[in-house]
Amino acid sequence: MANPKVVVIGGGIAGSYIAKSLQFHSNLTLIDPKEYLEIPWASLRGMVEPGFAERSLIQHKDYLTGSRLIVSNAVDIRESEVLTSEGRLIPYDYLVIATGHGDPLPKTRADRLKQYQAENEKIKAAQSILIVGGGPTGVELAGEIAVDFPEKKMTLVHNGYRLLEFLGPKASKKTLDWLTSRRVEVKLEQTVNLEGVAEEGSKVYKTSAGEIIRADCLFLCTGKPLASSWLKNTILGDSLDDNGSLVVDGNLRVKGRKNIFAVGDITNIKEMKQGHLAKKQASAAAKNLKLVMNGGSESKMVAYKVSSTTKAIVSLGRHDAVAQLHLTTMIGLVPGLLKSKDLYVGKTRKELDVDSFLLH
């Protein structure tokens, strides 16, 4: 097929990487509701240091030099075209769904930078801070604030019986000890009643155990829903599982579809939803797309190898991190050197080849 039309829906890590990889091999269109890629694991640092976000928000057009960007929401998928919210029909020969988790972000990079500035001012002005959620987002945010603003009184409430439940108990314990040593009060197996909190200026929160927490500002760090509900009434409605994930085969094609692939958090692949795995999926799907677009045999497609180990690094402020690796769990400066210093922002920019296109 001469210059096949490829449409990628979703400009997070998985979508951006696959679009970058395919842009000179096809007539490629990226559909994303925002003009930029936000490096998600770097976003919490941007709240304590807004200048950091300057490098972690990358305009799509800075790495997609050979393709078309449509800043819009996709609202329907048909047999050979995608409908956007303004009513535009975008034809495709091959389609990639990479919508990940629902996280309504502003359309322009400038507006997102303003949000970071506002979050930063909120943290600076507060004397006491409440964080709800003890997964990686809540823990990393608590770590960032504890290191940059050690004078703030911080409380972290988590409904689980330990922090970072996706990691082993050893990593959870080390993380709890680290936070406690930085004067973060951690309350486990409790939830916070957030009804009626919408009124601004509510400073008093009640937990499920009846405890009262006073806080000048609140950060909700609980899981975000998958951005897949819009798929229910499309031709892919039957390909969703009960959790709203898209069911894919071993080659990352959507079940029952030869020319539609899915990558990243939206898939039903049983592995942790992490940026480096989203990149790995994007790389495998890109290889398969290049193969079939060039008329190669489907039998030569690469099978995606599911990551069986829960290898993860959770950063704790600027210098420390907790790392669960194949054989060991460690905390402190050594794993911190791997991730915490610049949160892989330089590496991601390099992989997307952003800086070579920009004039310094």
pLDDT in tens, 15-34: 999 999 999 999 999 999 99
225-258: pLDDT as tens digits: 899 999 999 999 999 999 999 999 999 999 999 9
Helix axes 169-181, 136-148, angle to 10 degrees: 30
Calculate the CA 108 to chain-centre distance: 18
Structure tokens at 161: 């019986």
Helix H or strand E encompassing 89: strand 89-91
Q: What is the mean pLDDT of residues 163-171?
A: 91
Is residue 158 over pLDDT 80? yes
Give 360's pLDDT tier (boundaries 50, 70, 90): very low
Which domains does the chain possess? 5-33+72-103+224-301 (3.50.50.60), 109-223+310-351 (3.50.50.100)
Residues 9, 95: contact at Cβ < 8 Å? yes
Whole-number pLDDT of residue 359: 46
Structure tokens at 118: 């506002």
Q: What is the mean pLDDT of residues 330-354?
A: 85
Q: What is the mean pLDDT of residues 91-106?
A: 94
DSSP 19-50: HHHHTTTSEEEEEESSSEEE-GGGHHHHHH-G
Q: Which of 33-47, 95-109, 201-215 has the lowest mean pLDDT?
A: 201-215
Whole-number pLDDT of residue 356: 64
Give 333's pLDDT tier (boundaries 50, 70, 90): confident
Q: Which of 30-44, 138-152, 189-203, 273-287 has the lowest mean pLDDT?
A: 189-203
Helices in the chain by DSSP H: which ranges?
Answer: 13-22, 43-48, 53-56, 60-63, 109-125, 136-148, 169-181, 275-293, 333-339, 345-351, 354-357
Percentage above 90 pLDDT, the chain: 77
